[in-house]
Structure 1
Amino acid sequence: MPLRYVDPHRNRGPKYQQGVRFGRSRLGQFMARHIARRTDPLLFRLTGGRVNMGPIINAPLITTGAKSGKRRETQLTYFHDGTDVVLIASNFGADRHPQWYHNLKAHPECEFGGEQFTAREVTDPADYARLFRLAERVYAGYADYRAKTAKSGRDIPIFTLTPR
């Protein structure tokens, strides 16, 4: 099954907004970090990506470990910018980049949602600002993460995945 297209410009209804509010809550954040990260990959495999725990669509990113060289899998929220997939390395607003960030920097060839891609970190300030605004349309919680990381001085990286 091909990766579901996530249009950041699409208007989302009240049910979606309710799910986002829950996702930004203390309980929602706990569930995302400790429960959904384990159940979402299983749901993705069992349903071919048709079912998610919440309103936000996610898919598995498969990378090569930066140090180990081993296969690593992480379930991530995404959206599309044309044919490219966009990933936000927010790490729930932690003061360190997520491990998959280091993996993509070391080995940009990856698989996402069962499709092959090449990753590129967004370094152009205008493009970065544009993509982060789109990310906030998909999940408003990215603004929360940005506020948290500002305290530690960490900029949240953005990657575009270009189909191979």
Structure 2
Amino acid sequence: MDGQDDVLDSSTGWVATHVRRYLASDGASGHIWYGKPTLVLTTRGRTSGALRRTGLIYGEDGADFVVVGSNGGADHHPQWYLNLLAEPRARIQVTADVYEVVAREAEGEERGRLWDAMAEIFPQYKSYRKKTERRIPVMVLEPRES
């Protein structure tokens, strides 16, 4: 990801506000959101090519970070997930730490284990799963070596 590109924040107002506050404070304001850990994910838009940022609740699995594409239980996937399918290289910020990552979708036993771990962090995921017939993706963000 080229640091020279302009970055667009989420079109959801409160998410954009959260992301800007998070980045301005290196996560001191925003890393913990209503008791849940959050990170800032920057993806490349699959059609626009623009860099796009959003804030997400995350978990950890060893050195990897885990996020869930719940989209509040909506019947369509979040844009960030679709962007990661098209271009799995992304950037995350966790507090003041910035990582280049490669995303992959968890499958099989790993998916089940990570889903359960994420539902412990954010129990609303269970109710979101009941609101939609789509399979809610669990994404693993693997930090790349510099």
| One of 1, 7, 18 as aligned partner of 1:40 | 18
Counterpart position of 1:126: 109
Helix, strand or coil at the partner of 2:91 = strand
Q: What is the count of residue pairs matched by the alignment? A: 128
Q: Which runs of 5+ in 2 are unaligned?
A: 1-10
| One of 121, 132, 135 as aligned partner of 1:138 | 121
State the alpha-carbon separation in 1 of the partners of residues 50 and 12 from structure 2.
23
State the alpha-carbon separation in 2 of the partners of residues 62 and 34 from structure 1.
15
Residue deviations 1:63-114 (CA, integer Å, cap 9, x gap): 0111111111111111100100001000000000000111000000000112
State the alpha-carbon separation in 1 of the partners of residues 130 and 142 from structure 2.
29
Q: Which runs of 5+ in 1 are unaligned?
A: 1-32
Return the letter of the residue paired with 2:137.
Answer: P
State the alpha-carbon separation in 1 of the partners of residues 12 and 53 from structure 2.
16
Helix, strand or coil at the partner of 1:154 = coil
**Structure (1 or 2) with the greater strand fraction:** 2
TM-score (norm 2): 0.82
**Structure (1 or 2) with the greater helix fraction:** 1
Please say if residues 16 and 54 of structure 2, whose CA atoms lie closer than 8 Å, have aligned partners that are also in contact: no
| One of 46, 50, 56 as aligned partner of 2:28 | 50
Structure label with greater radius of gyration: 1
TM-score (norm 1): 0.74
Q: Identity of counterpart residues, as a percentage?
A: 35
| One of 111, 134, 146 as aligned partner of 1:154 | 134
Residue deviations 1:111-152 (CA, integer Å, cap 9, x gap): 0112110001112x2111111100011111111111112xxx
